[in-house]
Amino acid sequence: MPLLTPPRYWFVIPAAGIGSRMGADKPKQYLMLGNKTILEHTITRILSLPSLAGIVVPLSSQDNFWTSLTILQHPLVHTIHGGAQRADSVLNGLNYLADKAHNQDWVLVHDAARPCVTIENIQALCDGVAGDEVGGILAVPVIDTLKQVASLNKIQTTVDRSALWQAQTPQLFRYKLLRDCLMQTLTRNENITDESSAVELCGYQPKVIEGRTDNIKVTRPDDLLLAEFILIQQEKLHEKQL
Q: What is the pLDDT of residues 208-238, one digit of tens each?
A: 999 999 999 999 999 999 999 999 999 998 8
- Stretch 83-93: mean pLDDT, rounded? 97
How far apart, in whole angstroms, are the C-alpha atoms of residue 150 and residue 126?
40
- DSSP E strands in 49-134: the ranges are 52-59, 77-81, 106-109
Band of residue 242 on the pLDDT scale cut at 50, 70, 90: confident
Res 154 pLDDT > 90: yes
pLDDT confidence bin for 74, thresholds 50/70/90:
very high
**Amino acid in the structure at residue 48:** S
Say which amino acid occupies 204: Y
The residues pairing with 21 across neighbouring beta strands, listed in sequence order, are none
| 4-8, 92-96, 104-108, 122-126, range with the lowest pLDDT | 4-8
Q: In the structure, what pLDDT confidence band is assigned to residue 115 with cuts at 50, 70 and 90?
A: very high
The count of residues in the chain is: 242
Average pLDDT estimate for 16-36: 87
Mean pLDDT (whole number) for 65-93: 97
Checking DSSP bridges between strand 52-59 and strand 77-81, what pairing results, if any? parallel
pLDDT at 1: 43
Residue 119's pLDDT band, with cuts at 50, 70 and 90, is: very high
CA dihedral of residues 99, 101, 103, 105 (deg, nearest 10): 180
Tell whether the model's pLDDT for residue 44 goes beyond 50.
Answer: yes
DSSP state of 6: P
Report yes or no on whether pTM surpasses 0.85.
yes
Phi-psi region of 225 (alpha: psi -120 to 50; beta: other; left: phi over 0): alpha
